[in-house]
Chains A and B, each alone.
Chain A
Amino acid sequence: MKRIDTTWTEAIICGEQLWLHPDKALFWEREKTLFVADLHFGKIAHFRKAGIAIPKEAAEPNWTRLRQVIVDFLPEKVCFLGDLFHSSYNREWEKMGDLTRAFASIEFELISGNHDLLHGTDYERVGITVLEDAVVRAPFLLTHEPAETIEAGLYNLAGHIHPGVRMCGLGRQTLRVPCFYFAENQGILPAFGQFTGKFTMRPKKADRVFIVVNEEVLPA
């Protein structure tokens, strides 16, 4: 099956072919695995519960985007790199069940993150396998928070940070944009969820940065 779409950008990491999607997802060609980090679903419902009323419509685009990314790649496995759901249970979680049922042939797993507080049964019910933080799928070490120590020969894929970089140009123009950030032995995915803010990285020369600009992923 031909998977190449002009809006995807290829990155070769540890000899593995990875596709970077402008909707802030990463696809591992050999294992047909789709990685998505920091989705923060349920954040809006969480605010609402805390007395901050936010219209429900605001949550919808994130779900649409996720469905679209899955359809784009048709992976065998979807791996969430943590912070899938922002809070304790609320009704928005049921949309996750709708999604996994719609893609019944796909395996869903979650590397648990600091915001993932749901009960085990909630995950079971919707067919998501929860994994401990730090899982090895050679050559990759999958974590939510970037691993502090990485065994030689492994390359860490993580989320949590919501990386962005500052671009600057003539005429005192600057822009802060989200990015995929690949350092020597560690790659960090941009946050999938909207309204999540971003952390401005200070790239070193050797780091490879791919910025997400609207419909494109561009090497910076």
Chain B
Amino acid sequence: MRKTELIQLGTDWFNQRDWEPLDFQVETWEAYLAGYHGILNAPTGSGKTYALLMPIVLQFINKHKDYRERTNNGLQAIWIAPIRALTKEIESAATQLCLEMGLQWQVGVRTGDTTASQREKQLKQMPEILITTPESLHVLLARKKYVRMFKKLQSVVVDEWHELLGTKRAVQVELALSRYKGIRPKLQVWGISATIGNLEEAMEVLLGSDVEKGQHKMVFADIKKEIEVTTLLPDEIEKYPWAGHMGLRMLPHILPIIKRSKTTLVFTNTRAMAEIWYQNLLKAEPDLAGQIALHHGSIDKNLRNWVETELHSERMKAVVCTSSLDLGVDFRPVESVVQVGSPKGVARFVQRAGRSGHQPGATSRIYFLPTNSLELIEASALRKAMQEGNLENRFPHIRSFDVLVQYMCTLAVSDGFFPEELYREVQSTFCYNSVSPEEWGWLLDFITTGGSSLQGYDEYRKVAIQDSGLYQVTNRRVAQRHRMSIGTIVSEPIMHINFVSGKRLGSIEEYFISRLNPGDIFGYAGRSLELVRVSGMTAQVRVSKKRATKIPSWRGARMPLSSQLSAMLRFKINEALRGDSDEPELKTIYPLIAKQQELSHVPSESEFLIEKMQTEEGHHVFMYTFEGRLVNEGMASLVAYRISLLQPITVTIAMNDYGFELLSDQEIPIETAIDSDIFTADHLHDDILASINAAEMARRQFRDIANISGLIFKGFPGKWKKDRHLQSSSQLFFEVFNDYEPTNLLLRQAFEEVTEFQLEENRMREAMNRINEQEIILTYPEKFTPFSFPLFVDRLRESTMTSEKLEDRIRKMKLELEKD
């Protein structure tokens, strides 16, 4: 069949349903049929699924004249989705398309939810289209004789690639693709991605280095959706709090929005906030009972599914949610979105706005609710960044040796591998392109002997080398353990929450439960619950009539300000000070910025502000980079470290998105420090590593790495080990490697991940360079300023940096006595 005829066939199918294929859909079909790999840049709900399902079907029709009769064709295409919720929608679209195009194809889903019997059935006879998640790809690669399954594979589509990119799950995809290409060199690879700052790089990561130049294409859907941003302004800015993240005072402002919209999604930044907002909404408007629900990642799947069904069927007035509803299928009834507190990133804000207004031509409506005064400037910065299309990058992981160790073991568990062959495949991925032969040798050594520090322990001799040179796991116990621990999503230690009757409610971080005693009342999933007892990894609860006194805080839920937004913020602060802006946010904030100017100074874009003051607590120095919490944490440690080289001193550090605080019992010699060039970008990497935080952070980071690389076994189902054990033993590994094998690749990875992802070294370097070109303004305010006050009251993570001897510090301290 000619290509035009094929395209016509696809168009006919659209026409039968009274649809017209969109330009980008046809463009994608053509690119696919011409044999290109590529990326389709399209938002959710744009018809992107058909853009890539269709050509897969057309290709098959083109190759097989008897396509209507052919059954049992083997696995033709794999569709990878980041979340299970998406798989259902794709499954029904694919099933319908195949049927109506006259194909005798099976469409199968394989995720963590798939039943054992369905999985067995799939293994016996693979469906033509398999919809699955990155983890499941690797589970399949751990099966004996897995190669057979992929003998007919034509293409792989990775949906929502931007969501995966920047996580280790993307690395799993890269590795799986490299293996499939080893089996099927002609495999076609396509990704679907929403707009991000680095689309080109996203494509490079997906396709790897073995795709020839000119063999790939990027297709843009180019669907512009109108987004209307309204900031909810506090009535009296003078009385609105300078600090805080809850914003409940603004709650009355959103009641009318909920009333006049068919359905409203209220996004909060943390699960704890979602719980609190839900309870307060109900208190403020009891009539909403039954028409309002709570949705976040720790709530049981069944409950979440119920909420989603109710959303679809227009029975919900409002749902308070977290990033749990960022993704997934569209809810047509949603007319308005409220964002409580700064979303901290432009892309996230756009994504959330896009969850409203699905009727053709409808506008997405998002209301921004500032939780403290300074967030008004963020609102204005967000709008400007959106207008300029200045979206964040997603940085891909590179050299994730933990995932590689796991992958090597996975292949060794199934059919084994030959090192030279595998090395070539692995090197073709973006992630492992720079792995040297020496490093590869270390990895082989590590999986066969445990490496130099774990030598002599049977449990680390996982993989045996056969006479033929094949690397294979021969020990059944090792194989069984490995199959069970495939996956890269590691979270905080999690406990189940069940009613005493056994009914499941959801999960919660062990950290929170460990601080409660039986009888304590806490808020969860919108109810007041009493802790009855803890048994194993389950917390048993009953409903309580009493008011909850504690709300769980889920760690790691707070996102740092992105660099896109940071840049806009610095710009907007100045605009606010000029007082001539038309923007309502900037007009409203003006008195506060004027106050900052009166008490201290408002830095222009060419200035760097430092404030120094003394209180009963000690000597404070505040510095404002407006670079986000992570960069501030790194900068604070670094600056504290460099100051501590000048004289013996102990400094406590606190930071937020705007700046950081150094606090000491003695005067901080900031004037001398500025003269001695503490902001230099020279020796940055070494100084970061030398500052104690890097080591402490690497230790924390290492827990995940130890888990993923299989150093630690999480236990068999039903008898999960207590995670606390895990933590302490991963720390022991960290210490032993640090002391005895500093070249250990997994150890080095921990440090690299910290500098790249947690401290964002590159961003820090840019910030340092910028500061070096700025004029440093040092002020000595008598009172806390609008900038310093939030740092003073709302300390996120505190840590201490010291160059004093412990003995000297202790001598200045007092014993904390029991309070009378």
Contacts and interface: CB of A to CB of B under 8 A. Distances in A.
Interface of A: 44, 47, 50-58, 165-175, 177, 195, 202-205, 209, 211, 213-214, 216, 218, 220
Contact of A165 (B457, B798, B816): B816
A174 to B, nearest CB: 8
Output the residue of A44, A55, A58 with the most chain B CB within 10 A.
A55
Contacts of B817: 202-205
B618 interface: yes
B651 A167 contact: no
Please give me the 9 A-B residue pairs with the lowest Cβ-Cβ distance, nearest first.
Answer: A170-B665, A171-B618, A169-B813, A202-B818, A167-B813, A171-B665, A55-B736, A166-B816, A220-B815
Contacts of B457: 53, 55-56
Given A47-B729, A58-B735, A218 B652 contact: no
A216 B298 CA distance: 47
Nearest to A200: B816
B64 interface: no
B650 A171 contact: yes
Contacts of A173: 650, 652, 665, 800, 809, 813
Contacts of A53: 454, 457, 459-460, 711-712, 729
Nearest to A53: B459
A207 B820 CA distance: 15
Contacts of B728: 195
B216 to A, nearest CB: 44
B810 A211 contact: yes
A209 B800 CA distance: 25
Contacts of A57: 453, 736, 739-740
A90 B804 CA distance: 42
Contacts of A205: 817
Given A54-B732, A213-B807, A171 B813 contact: no
Contacts, number: 112
A170 B810 contact: no
Contacts of A56: 457
B511 interface: no
Contacts of B726: 52
Given A52-B712, A53-B457, A172-B617, A167 B732 contact: no
13 contacts: A52-B712, A53-B457, A53-B712, A54-B729, A55-B453, A55-B454, A55-B740, A57-B453, A166-B816, A169-B813, A174-B816, A203-B816, A203-B818
A171 B393 CA distance: 38
Given A170-B618, A171-B618, 19 more contacts: A50-B721, A51-B715, A52-B713, A53-B454, A165-B815, A166-B816, A167-B815, A167-B816, A168-B814, A168-B816, A169-B809, A171-B617, A171-B665, A172-B798, A173-B650, A173-B813, A177-B810, A202-B818, A204-B817
Contacts of B814: 167-169
B119 interface: no
A117 B807 CA distance: 38
Contacts of A203: 815-818
Contacts of A220: 815
A51 B816 CA distance: 40
Interface residues of B, number: 44
Nearest to B715: A51
Interface in B594-638: 617-619
A168 B617 contact: no
A167 B711 CA distance: 37
B661 to A, nearest CB: 10
A185 B818 CA distance: 19
Contacts of A204: 817-818
Nearest to B706: A53
Nearest to A201: B818
A163 to B, nearest CB: 13
B804 to A, nearest CB: 10
A189 B201 CA distance: 59
Nearest to A174: B816
A137 B664 CA distance: 48
B794 to A, nearest CB: 14
Interface in B245-267: none
B665 A54 contact: no
B157 interface: no
Contacts of A169: 665, 809, 812-814
A216 B813 contact: no
Contacts of A44: 732
Contacts of B665: 169-171, 173
B451 to A, nearest CB: 11
A115 B798 CA distance: 36
Output the residue of A52, A177, A213 with the most chain B CB within 10 A.
A52
A167 B808 CA distance: 13
Nearest to B808: A213
A200 to B, nearest CB: 9
B733 interface: yes
A169 B617 CA distance: 9
A167 B806 CA distance: 12
A20 to B, nearest CB: 15
Contacts of B721: 50-52
Nearest to B729: A52
A171 B664 contact: yes
Contacts of A51: 713, 715, 721
Given A169-B665, A170-B617, A55 B816 contact: no
Contact of B732 (A58, A171, A172): A58
Output the residue of A50, A173, A203, A205 with the most chain B CB within 10 A.
A173
A214 B307 CA distance: 56
B426 interface: no
A217 to B, nearest CB: 11
B80 interface: no
A171 B816 contact: no
Contacts of A167: 810, 813-816
Contact of A213 (B652, B732, B806): B806
Interface in B695-741: 711-713, 715, 721, 725-726, 728-729, 732-733, 735-736, 739-740
A198 to B, nearest CB: 14
Given A168-B814, A173-B650, A47 B735 contact: no
B721 to A, nearest CB: 7
B663 interface: yes
B723 to A, nearest CB: 11
A213 B721 CA distance: 34
Contacts of B733: 54-55
A204 B815 CA distance: 10
A65 to B, nearest CB: 16
A54 B728 CA distance: 10
Contact of A175 (B460, B617, B740, B813): B813
A55 B721 CA distance: 19
B619 A171 contact: yes
Nearest to B816: A166
Given A170-B665, A203-B817, A218 B800 contact: no
Contacts of B807: 213-214, 216, 218
Given A57-B453, A173-B650, A168 B732 contact: no
